[in-house]
Structure formats: C-alpha cells, structure tokens
C-alpha cells in the first residue's frame, strides 16, 4: 500500500531539519488575574510571550460581562450576521468604536485575520496594485494573494522605496498602501505621516493595521494614527480585540461609504458565523477600561521601557522601537530555540520566532511586556537571560 501522506512526512522532516517545524504547547492553567504566570507541565512560568499587554484577559469585569451575556444571548451567534441578524450588543459596539476612533462608522469582524483578508480582497482585485511593507503581518499578505491584485513589497519602513514602486506602477487601476502601525515581530512603528503624503501624491488608498497599537498608543488607547493626529487621514483603520483588549475579534473604522461597501463585499464577514455575544460583551467591558484607565497604559510604557533598557545594557541585539514588543535578535533558528528552551528551564515562557514569520537569518526571542508584570519579575527575567547568554558563550569559547 502506498502511503498517501509520505509527502507530508517528507516536508515536515525538511522543516524539522532547518528548525522550522512547529508544535503547540499545552498550558495547564493561568495563575491569577494578572495573567503574568502560567502553569505548563506542572511548572510555573513567567509569561513573557503574551499579547495581553494591558493584562485584561483575566480581568473580572471582562469575565462578568461575558457570563452575563451568555445568560441572556446563549453560547453562540448561530449564523452570519446577514442570516440571523445580530444582537444589539454588536450595533452598540460599532457605534462606540466609531465614536472612540472619531470616524463615521465601524464594522466588527470575527478576528484580525478575517478582517485583513476580507477587507483587502474587497478593496482591490485584478489589475490593481497593493504596496505592502515587507514586514507586514501574514494576514495582510494572505489578503493580497486572495485579492489577485499585484503585490509590491517595499523595504521595511522605506518610503523612498515605496515611492519608487508607486511611480513605477502609477497606471494600476486602483492602488492600496497597507502597513502595520506597530510591527508585530519587531515592535517598531510605521512612518504614517509620510505614507499619507504618498497616498495623496499617487492617488492611492491607505489602510493601517493597528492590532498591536490598539489599547497601547493614543491618549484613550486608540492607536498610532490617533497618537500622531492622523486618524482622519487614513482611509481604513483596522484593529483587533485579541491583544491589549484581552478578548477576541477585530474591527474596521472608516468613512460611511467605505463601511457600507465592505458590509456588502467582505466575504470573510458575509460567509462566516458572527462572534458569540459573550465575546462582544467582554469587548464592551475591555473598551471602557482601555478608554478610561490611562494609568494602566502608563504602567505598560514604564515597564516596557525599563525592560528594553535593561536588555540594552547587555550585548544583546534588541529591536528598535518603544512598544511592549521587544525582540531579541538571535539569527539562527536552532540557537533561538535553544534560548527559548533554556529560558523555560529557568521558569520563563518566551517564544522563539523563526522564518517564515520573520525573514531568514533573523530568528528571535519575542518578549512582550504586560502592564501587570512587576519590576522584580522583569529584573529576574533579565538576569536569567543574561546568565543563559553567558552559559552559551562559554560553550562556544
Ligand atoms: C499585525 C497583526 N494583524 C493581524 C493579526 C491577526 O489578528 P487575529 O489574531 O485577531 O486573527 C495579528 C495577530 O495575530 C497581527 O499581529
């Protein structure tokens, strides 16, 4: 009998050889409301790998809101919003989001992946051109592939290269520039003002992905476009509820014409079951905290900048930027995995990020800081890391 799966085993073997196979680790439990500690295989680990930047995922207010909504609305949405209608929690949330972002309208999606794929493939198609930062999230890349538009990747944050490409393809039917605002694996930010200028100069549309900026940047956690006063300049603002909001889901904020168009055209919205009402209820609770609790955001900034500075006092290559995403560039895949394993042995959960998530030769440990980490926890983690570095260098010498 032939093995129908032999080619899969072969490909998996190839990935394993270059230290690019993946596995999913099981977490036994989360210890306490701060979300800072998890239990894995019977051991407690300091979690430095979560996007739970504000520490809201285990907040009692989010949990209570979800529980209450389950009692009223049940466990699931049961269909797409176009089939079943959507519970009033949805429409209230979209109004609150539009007010928060000071845009005409908002639209909720099931997650960031679906928002990016659905929106991009609705905005552009064959004969159009998308200009996308080389380090943009995979969901943006997949949205472009799905759209069948031409895909032009500009060098990371390099607006000269972008302009060169825009000039070269100025005759494309429609042009879309798309960028993360805070880059998910690098933690640095996009040059939004220059992107707005180029958008205007070349008659393009500009879409930004605020997944890692929402809740973190802006006076009321609106994101980078607000922090820079450019929220009305950007055509489409996308953000997620899965990170600083501690919940799940995503949104688009834009002018009414854009939202009305996307409501009829975004296939990932139309052909997929809506988020459960309990998730929408926890987003409502998180949004109130994100808007009002500025001290949490301040603490996140303080903790992140302390940890970043502390890592910079050692001979590590730490990514630029000032966000809670602090990548420690290692380079080699196997070496990055070794760091991650050794950190775990010392009680720290910090994931190794390898290609294709990041470019070849730039494997890294992606540390993420939360507002609920304490200084002594971060100090301890930095000490452990430094000892690992010393051990590994000793091995090499
Ligand atoms: C920049 C960026 N955009 C989109 C997504 C996808 O969001 P979601 O996890 O809600 O699908 C992520 C993270 O997963 C991300 O980092």
Mean pLDDT, residues 134-144 taken together: 98
User: What's the 141 CA to ligand 1 centre distance in angstroms?
Assistant: 12
The pLDDT mean for the chain works out to 96
Q: Is the CB of residue 113 below 6 angstroms from any atom belonging to ligand 1?
A: yes
Mean pLDDT, residues 14-41 taken together: 94
- Nearest protein CA to atom 6 of ligand 1, as residue: 112
Q: Is the CB of residue 245 below 6 angstroms from any atom belonging to ligand 1?
A: no
CA 329, chain centre distance (Å): 19
pLDDT in tens, 156-211: 999 999 999 999 999 999 999 999 999 999 999 999 999 999 999 999 999 999 99
Active site residue 184: yes
Query: Which residue out of 121, 139, 147, 184 is catalytically annotated?
Result: 184
Domain architecture of the chain: domains with CATH: 33-54+294-396 (3.90.1150.10), 60-292 (3.40.640.10)
pLDDT in tens, 220-260: 999 999 999 999 999 999 999 999 999 999 999 999 999 99
pLDDT of residue 395: 52
At residue 204, φ and ψ (nearest 5 deg) are -100, 180
pLDDT in tens, 61-105: 999 999 999 999 999 999 999 998 889 999 999 999 999 999 999
pLDDT of residue 2: 87
pLDDT in tens, 294-321: 999 999 999 999 999 999 888 889 988 8
The residue among 187, 191, 227, 134 whose CA lies nearest residue 311 is: 187
pLDDT of residue 327: 96
Q: Is the CB of residue 240 below 6 angstroms from any atom belonging to ligand 1?
A: yes
pLDDT of residue 392: 87
At residue 2, φ and ψ (nearest 5 deg) are -80, 150
Q: Is the CB of residue 137 below 6 angstroms from any atom belonging to ligand 1?
A: yes
pLDDT of residue 348: 98
Q: Is the pLDDT of residue 397 over 50?
A: no
Contact (Cβ atoms closer than 8 angstroms) between residue 384 and residue 367: no
User: What's the 388 CA to ligand 1 centre distance in angstroms?
Assistant: 31
pLDDT in tens, 377-390: 999 999 999 999 99
Kindly state the tokens that stand for 280.
């929408």
User: What's the 165 CA to ligand 1 centre distance in angstroms?
Assistant: 26
CA angle 52, 234, 246 (to 5 degrees): 10
pLDDT in tens, 205-214: 999 999 999 9
* Burial of 249: CB neighbours in 10 Å, binned 0-12, 13-18, 19+: buried
pLDDT of residue 56: 98
User: What's the 113 CA to ligand 1 centre distance in angstroms?
Assistant: 6
**Rounded Cα gap, residues 233 and 333, in angstroms:** 40
Atom of ligand 1 nearest to the CA of 242: 10
């Amino acid at each position: 009998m032939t093995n129908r799966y032999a080619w899969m085993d072969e490909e998996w073997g190839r990935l394993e050889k270059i230290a690019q196979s993946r596995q999913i680790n099981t977490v036994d439990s989360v210890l306490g409301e701060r979300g800072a500690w998890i239990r894995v295989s019977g051991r407690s680990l300091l979690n430095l790998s979560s996007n739970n930047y504000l520490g809201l995922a285990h907040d009692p207010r989010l949990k209570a809101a979800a529980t209450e909504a389950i009692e009223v609305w049940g466990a699931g949405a049961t269909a797409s919003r176009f089939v079943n209608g959507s519970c009033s929690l949805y429409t209230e949330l979209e109004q609150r989001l539009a007010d928060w972002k000071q845009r005409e309208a908002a639209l909720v999606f099931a997650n960031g992946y679906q928002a990016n794929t659905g929106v991009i493939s609705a905005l552009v198609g064959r004969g159009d051109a998308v200009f996308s930062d080389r380090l943009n999230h995979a969901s943006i890349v997949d949205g472009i592939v799905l759209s069948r538009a031409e895909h032009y990747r500009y060098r990371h944050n390099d607006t000269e290269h972008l302009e060169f490409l825009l000039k070269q393809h100025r005759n494309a039917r429609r042009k879309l520039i798309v960028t993360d605002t805070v880059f998910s694996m690098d933690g640095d930010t996009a040059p939004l003002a220059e992107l707005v200028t180029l958008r205007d100069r070349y008659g393009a549309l500009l879409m930004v992905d605020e997944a890692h900026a929402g809740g973190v940047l802006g006076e009321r956690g609106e994101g980078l476009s607000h922090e820079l006063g450019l929220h009305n300049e950007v055509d489409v603002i996308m953000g997620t509820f899965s990170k600083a909001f501690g919940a799940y889901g995503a949104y688009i904020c834009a002018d009414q014409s854009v939202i009305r168009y996307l409501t009829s055209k975004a296939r990932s919205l139309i052909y997929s079951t809506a988020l459960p009402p309990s998730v929408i209820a926890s987003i409502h609770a998180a949004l109130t905290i994100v808007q009002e609790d500025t001290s949490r955001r301040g603490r996140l900034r303080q903790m992140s900048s302390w940890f970043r500075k502390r890592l910079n006092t050692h001979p590590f290559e730490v990514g630029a930027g000032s966000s809670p995403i602090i990548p420690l560039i290692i380079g080699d895949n196997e070496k990055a995995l070794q760091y991650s394993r050794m950190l775990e042995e010392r009680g720290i959960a910090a994931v190794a990020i390898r290609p294709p998530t990041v470019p070849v030769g730039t494997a890294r440990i992606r540390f993420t800081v939360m507002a609920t980490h304490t200084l002594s926890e971060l100090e301890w983690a930095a000490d452990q890391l430094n000892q690992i570095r010393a051990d590994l260098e000793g091995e090499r010498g």
